[in-house]
Structures are given as structure tokens and as C-alpha cells.
Structure 1
Amino acid sequence: MKRLPSIKQLQYLLALHEYQHFGRAADACYIGQSTLSAAIANLEETMAVQLLERDHKSFIFTPLGEDIVRQARYIIEQCEELTDFAKSQGKPMAGPFRLGCIPTIAPFVLSEVMALCRERYPDLQLLLREDTSDNSLHALGEGRLDMVLLALPYETGTFHAEVLAQDGFKLVLHQDWLDRGFSNDINQWPDESIFLLEREHCLTNHAVKACELEDSRKVNPFFATSLHTLIQMVNNKLGVTFMPQMAINSGVLDGTELIAQQPGAGNAYRDIGVAWRPTSSKARSYRIMADLITEVLLNKCQSA
């Protein structure tokens, strides 16, 4: 009988590739460094290939080693899905479901998604992770997430991606600024008067494009870290910002003196969608979850 790599060996290989350090990878696997080193050497012997180029202080993965890591990641994903499938006894929307979501959507949508899941699918264990689009898609590719809820367009590679709803942008400003006669044509506003999120948040790029902001001098070089920080600065009359409709509908402007109005670009919006691995065996669950999220979004994104 042909000798085959063990699941444990493949898990050790993936850990080493992730941490690029024997000591840290061994700690992550709760084993000793010598045990990890021996396991990788045994794996190379089993497959009769060289996975690593080593010297006395460092190593790099060989090109073939990189290819084998990709195959190993797929195998581990399939094993994890097999285990989840067994736990759910083959039923959709049962067992663990790991949903990633970006920070400019998560606070306004996920609580209702969880409530509907508890009501309709009591056998589902919905696990949530809030992170940036890049990090979430990376986790999706490594099998650490089943689905990502994000704003589109965004480069999703080979993942299946689809738009579920449109979330309009509003121009948010203090009542005093409105009283001073500023129009909703943002390109006529003073330089550095528009506050936005840090560039790692895709909301910034989507807002700039959707609202047709043509003059970059209008944007303040100080970027906020969250929507709530933006609200505080605008409420202190420092400038204006763009806010997604779902955030406004969730009450983020309550208790402030801020006004939300249509930007000069007219029907400015971002697409809200989901992404998942098309090779996954959870396709039925993904479809059901996408429909459930759409139900929540259509309510949350409805313009007042």
C-alpha cells in the first residue's frame, strides 16, 4: 500500500508556511520544535520531494513546496468540511458557519442576521469575524471562513461573488454648515473639508467614486479609524463626510446635530455582496445564508 501523508503532517506544513518560523509554528501547533522539524522531514521522505531549502539559520519553501502547500490547504479544507457535514448530518444550515464581515457593515447588519438564524435555523452555529476586506478574503481562501460579507466592487479573485443589495451614500454635515449656505455639490466645498476613513477601509474608495469627488484637495489628510469617529468630528463642525444609509438607519446620527442629505452626485451608493469558495460542499447553505442576508439588507438599506 502506498504511503500517504497524514492530516497532521499537512497541518504542520500549513502552520510552518503561515508563520515562516519553526519555533512559532511549533508553538501554534502545541508541539516541540524538534517534533515539527521531524514531521516535515518525514513528509518530504513520504512524498520523495524537497519542500524546503534549508541552511543553518533559515529556510525558504521551494517552488514545488509552495504548490504542495496550496494542495494541502485544499485537502485540509475538505477534511474540515467533511467533519462539519458529519456533525450537521448532511443538513444545510446546521453545524458551524463562519461568516466574515467588514467593519463598515458588521455593526449595522450582523445582529439581525444572528437573530434570524437563531429563529429559523436553531442547529446552525453562526461564528462571526469582523475584519478588512483583504484579511477576510485571505481567511476565506485559507478555509478559515465560509463566507465574507463585503462592499463591492472589490477584487475577489476566483471566489464566487454576487451583489445582494445597494446601500446609498448620504452627505452628512452639521446644521450650522447647512445654515451657512453650503450646497450639496461637494466639489464646491472648501479644501480639506471632507473627512473620510483610513484607506484600508474600502468605504472610502467607494464613497469617493460613487459621489463623484473629483478634486482630492477637498479631502482632509487626517483620516478617521471608524464611522463613529467621523461622526464625532463632523458633529464638532470640523467638516463633512459621507455615511452609508444602513448606518444612518441604525441610528448613528441620533443625539447629534447632524443632517443627512443627498450628495450632488444624485444616486450614489455602494453594492453590498457576499463571496464564497465555489468548490465548497456547503453550496446549499451559502445560498440560504445569502438570501437571509439579503432580507436584512433590503430593510437596513432602505432610504428614508
Structure 2
Amino acid sequence: MTLTELRYIVTLAQERHFGRAAERCHVSQPTLSVGVKKLEDELSVLIFERSKSAVRLTPVGEGIVAQAQKVLEQAQGVRELAQAGKNQLAAPLKVGAIYTIGPYLFPHLIPQLHRVAPQMPLYIEENFTHVLRDKLRNGELDAVIIALPFNEPDVLTKVLYDEPFQVLLPAGHPWTAQASIDASQLNDKSLLLLGEGHCFRDQVLEACPTLRKGGENHAKHTTVESSSLETIRHMVASGLGISILPLSAVNSHHYAPGIFEVRPLTAPAPFRSVAIAWRTSFPRPKAIELLADSIRLCSVLKPAVSA
């Protein structure tokens, strides 16, 4: 039994004429007749009554043709699914991002991506790097946007842009008189940091080496640890202390002018490299490529040389 034979009997049932049915199936009349007879022999039933003047369905033939029609419709559905699969930009994409990237990237990325791939909506998750790593590995996410380093077997990474760090100061802070802040100055002032588990916290500590000289020294210079950059921004605005933010987060706020000030760190300023990671086996490389291009396009940051 083949789909071709099922198509023959369905068309013949509709036309009630071998010649017209053969014409619709784009085969000769003998070919169609042989195909119908072959199916009847295989099933050991007569599907059609034949006479010189008419072709009629038998009672059992009516049920067989009805079922054959369903099979042909399902087969067409399979073809349509396969065709849709050829368009790598015609299905949702599951994207994760770390907490210090997602809130500042997605408001710009989503409109840009919608313009170039309107049939590819994003399922979005924000989480810690280690959680995103696990979800990428087990297929719960298709791609993740993280800060390097990020090493995982059978996972590819592509650097998207380099993002410098900047110092956030309360308005009226003495350091606002400076054009830039040297990292060594942060050693003797209270620095508001993200809590444990955030890779940005580790990158800030890496940028200020003396803050990492033992637990007691670190505790002395860090009065508050927060779960989000936005909470840190609020505490800086209230005058509790100062902090370091990635450039993309600096101007993403609703405060009126004059609440806080931003200063760059003295050159060579520390920065992080933001990258996209995906499994080598992921079957939609065009979707990853378009996502990466859209991130670069909507980012106001300097693209990384290695991208």
C-alpha cells in the first residue's frame, strides 16, 4: 500500500471515471487502473463496482476511501512540517541571558529581531550562568547570552561586543569632580556589589584586585550586596555608596537628572566580553546567526574585534 495508490482511489471516488481520475493524477488510465486493482488485491476486497457506464464505491470501499483521505491529509501535514523546518526563522527561539545583560539588551533586541524575523518570536529566560549552562546543555534553551569565559564541550561561542565598566556615584559625591576614577581609589570606599553567583560580581572584583585580598578586607569595603543591578542603582541614588555597572546598564533608568553621576574608570578600563553560545548540534544555525547579527546591530557598544 502506497500513498500513490491511496491518491488513486480517492481521486477515482471523486470523479467516478477512470479517464478523468487518471488525468487529475497525471498518469495514464492503464496505470491508474493497475494501481487501484493492486490495492484491492492487497486488501482482498473490492473498493469499486465497475460497469461500462459507471464506477461506484462498494460499502466497504466507502470506509476505505474515507480513511485514505485522512491518511493523505496527514501525509500533507508531514510535508508542511518538513517545509516549515527548512525555514529556520519560522519557529520560536529559546534564548537565555544572564541577569546583568537581559534587562538592558532585550528591549532593544526584540524590536530589531521582529523586523527581520517576524515569524521567530523569542522565549526568554534570565538566570545565572551556571543555570543557563545546564539548560543549554539539556536542550531547554537554544542559545544563551553570557559573559566570557564560558567553556562547555560541544558548545560554540561567538563574541558579540566588549562592554566597559563605569562607576556610578551619588550626586554631590567628591569624586564627581574627577573626569575618571582609578580602580585603586575604590579600595578605601564602600562599594555596592551583586551577591554571590553573579559573574559580574567576580568581574568587578577582578577589576579591583585589592578588594580580593582576603575575606576581612573585602567585607570592610563592601557594605551591601544586592540581587540586582537595579537595586544597586537605587541604593547609589539614595547615597548609600558607589558601585560599578556595565555600560549598557548605566543609562537604563527612570531617574530625573541630578540624582547620580557616572564616570569611566581610568584607562586601561576594565570590560567584559559578551558572547552568544549554542550547541554544535543545534539544527537552526541561520537563526543563531541572525540573532547574533541583531544583537550587534541594536547594541550601542563597540563590537569585539574577535566577533
Same fold, TM-score > 0.5, yes or no: yes
Alignment length (residue pairs): 219
- Structure 1 unaligned spans of 5+: 1-81
Q: Tell me how far apart the structure 2 counterparts of residues 84 and 191 of structure 1 sit (CA, whole Å).
A: 65
Letter in 2 for 1:226: S
TM-score when normalising by structure 2: 0.64
CA contact (8 A) 1:231 1:253 kept: no
Q: Tell me how far apart the structure 1 counterparts of residues 80 and 268 of structure 2 sit (CA, whole Å).
A: 46
Per-residue deviation, 1:129: 1.0
| Pair 1:192–1:86, CA change in 2 (3 A) | farther
Q: Tell me how far apart the structure 1 counterparts of residues 103 and 188 of structure 2 sit (CA, whole Å).
A: 31
Q: Give 4+ residue runs of structure 1 displaced > 6 Å after superposition.
A: 82-85, 180-183
Q: How does 1:260-275 map to 2 (within 5 A)?
A: 260-275=262-277
Structure 1 window deviating more from structure 2 (255-264 vs 200-209): it is: 255-264
Matched residue of 1:214: which SS?
A: helix
**Matched-pair identity in %:** 23
Q: Tell me how far apart the structure 1 counterparts of residues 147 and 113 of structure 2 sit (CA, whole Å).
A: 22
Per-residue deviation, 1:284: 1.9
For residues 70-122 of structure 1, the C-alpha deviation after alignment (integer angstroms, 9 at most, x for no partner) is: xxxxxxxxxxxx99973734112111210111111111111222112222212
Matched residue of 1:162: which SS?
A: strand
1:165 aligns with 2:180: no
Structure 1 window deviating more from structure 2 (218-227 vs 251-260): it is: 251-260
| Pair 1:273–1:254, CA change in 2 (3 A) | farther
Q: Which residue of 1 is the match for residue 32 of structure 2?
A: none
Q: Which residue of 2 is the match for residue 208 of structure 1?
A: 205
Q: Tell me how far apart the structure 2 counterparts of residues 181 and 135 of structure 1 sit (CA, whole Å).
A: 41
Per-residue deviation, 1:261: 0.7
For residues 136-168 of structure 1, the C-alpha deviation after alignment (integer angstroms, 9 at most, x for no partner) is: 111010101000011112343431012100111
Q: Tell me how far apart the structure 2 counterparts of residues 224 and 152 of structure 1 sit (CA, whole Å).
A: 22
Letter in 2 for 1:203: F
For residues 239-296 of structure 1, the C-alpha deviation after alignment (integer angstroms, 9 at most, x for no partner) is: 2110111112434665552111112353221111100001121112211211111112
CA contact (8 A) 2:187 2:210 kept: no
Residue 245 of structure 1, aligned match among 247, 263, 288: 247
Structure 1 window deviating more from structure 2 (270-279 vs 286-295): it is: 286-295
1:95 aligns with 2:91: yes
Structure showing greater radius of gyration is 2
Residue 285 of structure 1, aligned match among 284, 287, 302: 287
Matched residue of 1:215: which SS?
A: helix
Q: Tell me how far apart the structure 1 counterparts of residues 97 and 260 of structure 2 sit (CA, whole Å).
A: 27
1:197 aligns with 2:199: no
Residue 108 of structure 1, aligned match among 97, 104, 111: 104
TM-score when normalising by structure 1: 0.64
Q: Tell me how far apart the structure 2 counterparts of residues 252 and 203 of structure 1 sit (CA, whole Å).
A: 23
Matched residue of 1:117: which SS?
A: helix
1:129 aligns with 2:129: no
Residue 176 of structure 1, aligned match among 172, 175, 178: 172
CA contact (8 A) 1:147 1:286 kept: yes
1:229 aligns with 2:225: no
Letter in 2 for 1:187: S
Matched residue of 1:196: which SS?
A: strand
CA contact (8 A) 2:236 2:242 kept: yes
Letter in 1 for 2:240: L
Letter in 2 for 1:241: S
- Structure 2 unaligned spans of 5+: 1-77
